[in-house]
Each structure stands twice: as C-alpha cells, then as structure tokens.
Amino acid sequence: MRKPFICGNWKMNKNVAEAETTINDLKDKVAGIDNVEVGICSTALCLTTVKRAAAGSEIVTGAENIYWEDSGAYTGEISAKMLADSEIEYTIIGHSERRQLFGESDYEVNLKVKSALKHGIKPIVCVGETLAERKADQIEAKVNFQVDAALKGLSEDEITDVVIAYEPIWAIGTGETASAEEANRVIALIRENISQSYPEAAKKVRIQYGGSVKPHNVEEIMSQPEIDGALVGGASLEADSFAEMITKT
Ligand code: PEP
C-alpha cells in the first residue's frame, strides 16, 4: 500500500554540469523501474537542471531546505512557492545538519512543513537521536517529540503527504548504521505515535530510514516491514551506486 521511496540527498555537492550528467546516467539505469519512487534532492542552484534532466523519467525532484514565507526580504532563502512554480515535488525539512549547524528549531520545522504543504510540496521531515540520547535510552522520547512538533496543527489529510525520515544522527555519513531490526523498531514506534492522533494517516505516511544506507545493506534495511524507503546521502552521489540500491529495493 505504501510505495517505497528511495531519495538521494546530494547535500552541498555537485555543480550544475555534474548534476546534469548524474541525472542523465541515473535516468538510463532506473528506466522501467516502477515499484519504487526515486527522488533526488539537490542544492537550489541545481534544482531546475535536475528537473529538466529528469524529464521523461519517473525521477522526482526535491530541495534540501526552504524558508516558510512565500517571498520578501529573506536574503539567501528560497520558498515553497518558488519550488511549486518550478514543479519541484519534495523538500527535505529539518535535516540534522540544518538543526545542528544552522540552529533550526522544531518550531521552524513546523512552519516550513506547513508552508510546503500549502504549496503542494511534499515535506521529507528528518528526525533522529544523537549518540548521547541513544545511550541515555531517549530514542523514543526524542523522535516522538520531533515528529509531534513537525506535524503540529496539520490535518489528517495533510499528514498523509508527509514523508518522515528516521535518521539517527550518529549514523549519518559515518558508515555506522542502526541494525535493520532496530531501525524497524523505531519506525514502528513513530507510526504508533502518529496513530494515537491520526489513525488513518498513520497507515499511509511513509517513514524512511537514513544513515549510511549503501548498496551492501539496502536489501536488509528494505526487507523490514515498517521501513518505507531510504534517505541516502553519500551513496546517492554516483549514479551507479544509487541505481544499484534502487534495483535491490
Ligand atoms: C543524509 O544525509 O540524510 C544521510 C543519510 O547521509 P549518508 O547516507 O551519507 O549517511
């Protein structure tokens, strides 16, 4: 019922020419695959190139961040409205790098989620615990707090369009992963928490795992019943490795 969603997060990598080459390559390698939704989130600079290069394929496109106002004196920002005008489908919101390096708060994440949905952009909301929180047995409290804050004030219908990415912070870019069973357990807890207030949306909302997902571990991760996809950093940069992950899903 929930279509798996494998989405790349290129972060601050690739210039426009590299973005175009990678999408052209990827497009060929994933042609005809329809059991998985395939997405690429790129820098704002590369978004329209990615979108144009992906034309005629099933690859969907996303931003890595937005601001919640539609336009105005917000130097350096881009809005959900601008994404919608360029037919971009998704945006990552609240990635741990933004929370940690740029001080993004749960309140701001909620404003961004609302703005994205208002303009028909599907948010990929990142949540996850630090290593210290994991050691202190606070995983459930942390992720549920972040999810509740991100979804605050949304209707059940709107929540259906939200994608959640469970990304333990200690697993991002480190080569460490939560075991597939552990990722499945936390994702089940997130779904259970959502179902307390939104039982119908909880059945439909897709919850990805993210954190050093690679070609060698994607099958095991994706074989877990609660895991609806992956948010992939490093391994999405090369068309070969990313396509391999999609083929194995
Ligand atoms: C990410 O940036 O969301 C991520 C999961 O990165 P990596 O796959 O490199 O750990």
Domains and CATH numbers, the chain: 5-248 (3.20.20.70)
- Residue 231 Cα to ligand 1 midpoint, Å, equals 7
**Is the C-beta atom of 231 inside 6 A of ligand 1?**
yes
- Residue 100 Cα to ligand 1 midpoint, Å, equals 14
Does residue 33 register a pLDDT over 90?
A: yes
Residue 102, helix vs strand vs coil: coil
CA distance 247 to 215: 10
Residue 128, helix vs strand vs coil: coil
Q: Residue 210's pLDDT is what? A: 97
Residue 95, helix vs strand vs coil: coil
Q: Residue 181's pLDDT is what? A: 96
The full length of the chain comes to 249
55-75: pLDDT as tens digits: 999 999 999 999 999 999 999
> Are the C-beta atoms of residues 147 and 190 closer than 8 Å to each other?
yes
Does residue 190 register a pLDDT over 90?
A: yes
Looking up tokens 């190139």 gives: 49
CA distance 35 to 226: 17
Ligand 1 nearest atom to the CA of residue 11, by list position: 2
CA distance 170 to 154: 29
Does residue 158 register a pLDDT over 90?
A: yes
Q: Residue 178's pLDDT is what? A: 86
**Is the C-beta atom of 9 inside 6 A of ligand 1?**
yes
**Is the C-beta atom of 124 inside 6 A of ligand 1?**
no
Q: Detail the DSSP E strand segments found in 115-212.
A: 122-127, 163-166, 206-210
- Residue 11 pLDDT grade (very low, low, confident, very high; cuts 50, 70, 90): very high
Q: Residue 154's pLDDT is what? A: 97
Percent of the chain with pLDDT over 70: 100
- Residue 247 pLDDT grade (very low, low, confident, very high; cuts 50, 70, 90): very high
- Residue 119 pLDDT grade (very low, low, confident, very high; cuts 50, 70, 90): very high
Ligand 1 nearest atom to the CA of residue 210, by list position: 5
Q: Residue 177's pLDDT is what? A: 85
Looking up tokens 């549920």 gives: 144
CA distance 113 to 152: 9
Query: Which residues are known catalytic residues?
Result: 95, 167
φ, ψ at 7 (rounded to 5°):
-125, 130
**Is the C-beta atom of 169 inside 6 A of ligand 1?**
no
ipTM of the complex: 0.97
132-150: pLDDT as tens digits: 999 999 999 999 999 999 9
